[in-house]
Amino acid sequence: MGYGMTLSGVVLVLVPMWCLMSGNCLAATLGGLRDTVLGRETFKSVTNVSTFLLDPSSDTLFLGARDAILALDTKNLNQQPKKIVWAVPEEKRRSCVGKGKTEVDCNNYIRLLEFLKDGRIYVCGTYAFDPQCAFLQRSSFTLETTEDGGVKMETGKGKCPFEPSQRYTAVMADGILYTAATSNFLGTLYDISRATGPEHERVRTDQSINWLNDPEFVSSAYIEQTADSNPTGDDDKIYFFFTEIAKEHDLYTNVPRVVRVCKSDVGGMKTLQRRWTTFLKAQLVCEDKPSGQRYNILTDVFTARHSSGDPSSTHFYGLFTSQWEPNDVSAVCVFSLFDISKVMDGPFKELKKTCENWNSPETVPTPRPGQCLNSALKAQGFESSLKLPDKVLTFVRDHPLMENSVTAAPLLVRKGIKYTKLAVTLMGEAEDRRGAVLHLGTDRGELHQVAVAGQNATLLQEIPLFSSQEPVNNILLYQGRALVGSPLSVARVQAEGCTLYSSCEVCARARGVGCEWSAEDQTCRFTEADPSPGDVVDDALRKCHTQDGRCNPSIRELKVSIGLRILLPCVQLSPRPCSWEYPPHRHTRQHHSDLAVTVTMDNLGKYVCTCQEGGPSIRDPTPCRRAAFFLNLEGPTVEGTAAQAGSRHVLAIYIFLFFMGLVFGAFLLYFVTGKQNVTRPGHRDHDISLSSGKGRELLGSSTTPQSQSSSSVVSEGFKLTEKQNGKTTSTKTTTLLSNHGNGGHHANSYNGARISSNPSNGHPLLANCDTSGTGLKLNSEILVANTLGGRTGVREWVRSMGGEMESGEGHGVDEGLGDRKKGLQDELSSFPMLGLQAPLAPCEESSI
């Protein structure tokens, strides 16, 4: 949770998690917020929930899942949802498998739910790699059928992806569907198209890598002009956001893009027939200029209008990560519609094929290529794109990319955490805008809330909703609440308004976005009063009678033992670096902003984390003290040779047990292998190398097209496999308790807390057996943290310390032997005296 977590906050965390893991309840009520989590007991056999559509008129949330469509009453989530089954016939499923696809993928994954003008819902699914669309009647909640009783369907090619895991986006504009998706069975062709409407008005992109080059589509938005804000009679526009391979760079690098097309575009008469004549794209740059750090992979986009009734006030909040960061990192940048329009009206980028260099073109024909129709063009006789001259169409066909980029600085940067979805609540009215609250879903089933005011971001709350294997894949804001979805669950959480901050400390940290604590009513409420001069959060915290300030936290005393490894948390939401002050005899290592410490007699004492934040100028950061700890021994220690001798005795015992394990494992391997040879004479042994395991890691997820498969929902350590931008990555994590809150601390301090290797003290212990280097080294690690549940730096910490926890079930005797053989090779190869060759690492699929 966030700062000042109360008893109701503890219930908010524990009750839904117990419900999801035990499966004994239909819905779990979340403590003081009185919100609900629906899990497996509610959805039963329904999995792979990936699509949300809200009907405000009936407060109904429609869900698209595998082979099913659900309808939830958002006012009464305890009521059993309605369900429609739309599955693939068995014959078609077998045909799909016969073409080389997996049985799991040869289902019907509902990827599109959109309202039509007549009130029906347009439903499209992958339908065993043959996309199909159907029509849903809202009143009866049934799919329209044909005369023979089957589902009335039409082709979904170009409207819905073929493969469940493919990224795509769609938006409805005046009853017409605009999509960005793959357009062939192999998933090698991509289209941004007008997918419905009159046949002669359906247009799409030109099949050229200048237009689209291996894109991963993320989001889309329809910007409708109003008569009051459109004196030039400009056309409505549709924007698409994606990441693609940049053709203009020498190296194959990912680049985030924004594309703009116009609603009335119907293609050209001769050139660009049935193709976009207004297709223009620009690069999005999310970069912290002082440090030079750039975030180049777009994950999600949320569209927000800052002033009601004014389309020009639209802003796009982009969620980014980086292909150059070895570990998880998430950043949020915001781009205004004004800046995007300015770049689209600027110079074009041109590739001269003689020298392979990009330059600005010398002459631009008239009327300007790529512009939308307006009153001035219509007055010149260009009532339709069909009347545009060929030279204009040829130019826009060859120059879809703009010279300038749309740039922005990050609002926040979080290392060690992977955010998957983003939604934004704007605080205050347009005339008195007080910043925004970002609602961020993680890949571990959590919802984080971050207040952004000016250049500073403050972590308010971290709410665990689902099991750690369920990434958040949908966030929908409705009537002050957030409807949050994962592949297996749906949650309703209070998300808007200051009243959701139940303690003075958390309310004080939201002071920058207009929240103020009322000592009379003991509630947090929105105020239009300007905060006092100086640090507004510190001033608000003083009213809570707390010693902690936003940049002046109190020192937490930690009772530790010699030889323990602890992780001191320091949450930082700025792209600027954090640094630690510690005793001179260091045995430390920094993981993102956190600090790992191996406790010795020489490094006991004070540890202080200081981070750089945005000051008056973006190039003038100000230091902010985020965390302070004091390490002290838990009791008298044994010094000198006796302690060293005891350590050597323990080490000798562990080495003896280790070699005994090796002998037993070798004997077991010999016994099982010999048994197989006896029972199956004349046959060669199966390959027990790593290749079979590698192949499984590269398979698509059987759990959800947007999530990672796992063997156990309740396992504490687990392995995730995902494919992004053509590269398969694996991440092993373990659950930690850590201090969250952008430098603040829980009301229950660490003072006098005892940290030891006894598992009964409530802290998670992780044994570390490091056999690399000069010899065998056995240590016990303890990951120290506050009960606020943070995970900054967790993945890198576990990986770097060698404390990886295994999960998953075996896939047969042969593969089990392969894993056992690999484990023996790894253990033996770590000893210099044993000259065994280490096994080769599995190959990774290239992104090029």
The DSSP annotation for 308-328 comes to TT-GGGEEEEEEEE-TT-SS-
Residue 257 · residue 281 · CB < 8 Å: yes
- Enumerate residues 6+ apart whose C-beta is below 8 A from 264: 235, 236, 372, 373, 384, 385
57, 472, 720, 802, 822 from 818: Cα distances, Å? 57, 34, 20, 21, 6
Which pLDDT score is estimated for 114? 97
Cα–Cα distance measured from residue 756 to residue 632, given in angstroms and rounded to the nearest whole number: 12
CATH numbers and ranges of domains, the chain: 504-543 (no CATH), 547-638+720-806 (2.60.40.10)
166, 502, 656, 661, 836 from 664: Cα distances, Å? 46, 57, 12, 5, 18
| DSSP letter (8 states) at residue 744 | -
Burial class of residue 674, CB neighbours in 10 A (0-12, 13-18, 19+): exposed
Query: Within 13 Å, how many C-alpha atoms sit on residue 212's CB side?
Result: 25
Residues of the chain predicted below pLDDT 70: 1-34, 250-251, 351-362, 430-432, 531-535, 546-547, 550, 614-621, 635-652, 654, 672-848
- b/e 483-519 (16+ beta carbons within 10 angstroms → b): bbbbbbbbbbbbbbbbebbbbbbbbbbbbbbbbbbee
CA 513 to chain centre: 24
Greatest CA separation for the chain = 97
Phi, psi of 53 (to 5 degrees): -145, 120
pLDDT in tens, 596-648: 999 998 889 999 998 887 654 555 667 888 889 999 987 654 333 333 444 45
Which pLDDT score is estimated for 358? 55
Cα–Cα distance measured from residue 44 to residue 528, given in angstroms and rounded to the nearest whole number: 47
| Amino acid at site 749 | S
Give the position of tokens 């004549």. 277
Give the position of tokens 């009521």. 79
Cα–Cα distance measured from residue 425 to residue 402, given in angstroms and rounded to the nearest whole number: 31
Residue 804 · residue 758 · CB < 8 Å: no
Which tokens hold the place of 49? 């929930």
Which pLDDT score is estimated for 19? 40
Of 643, 659, 634, the C-alpha closest to 824 is 659
Residue 70 · residue 62 · CB < 8 Å: yes
Which tokens hold the place of 745? 């601390």
Angle at 165 between CA 160 and CA 169, to 5 degrees: 40
Which tokens hold the place of 554? 């109190």
Which pLDDT score is estimated for 676? 52
**What is the H or E stretch that residue 239 is in?**
strand 237-245
Cα–Cα distance measured from residue 257 to residue 240, given in angstroms and rounded to the nearest whole number: 8
Of 272, 238, 233, 236, the C-alpha closest to 378 is 233
Give the position of tokens 């010398």. 362
Which tokens hold the place of 455? 């250049």
What separation, in Å, do the N-terminal and C-terminal C-alpha atoms of the chain show?
41
- Enumerate residues 6+ apart whose C-beta is below 8 A from 76: none
Phi, psi of 686 (to 5 degrees): -70, 155
Neighbours of 58 (CB within 10 A): 13
Which tokens hold the place of 769? 């057996």
What's this model's pTM, rounded to 2 decimal places? 0.72
What residues are paired with 608 via a beta bridge?
581, 628
Which tokens hold the place of 592? 């993102």
Residue 446 · residue 417 · CB < 8 Å: no
DSSP string, 772-808: -TTS-EEEEEE----TT---TTHHHHHHHHT------
Which pLDDT score is estimated for 301? 98
- Enumerate residues 6+ apart whose C-beta is below 8 A from 108: 66, 67, 86, 87, 88, 125, 126, 127, 128, 132
Neighbours of 237 (CB within 10 A): 23
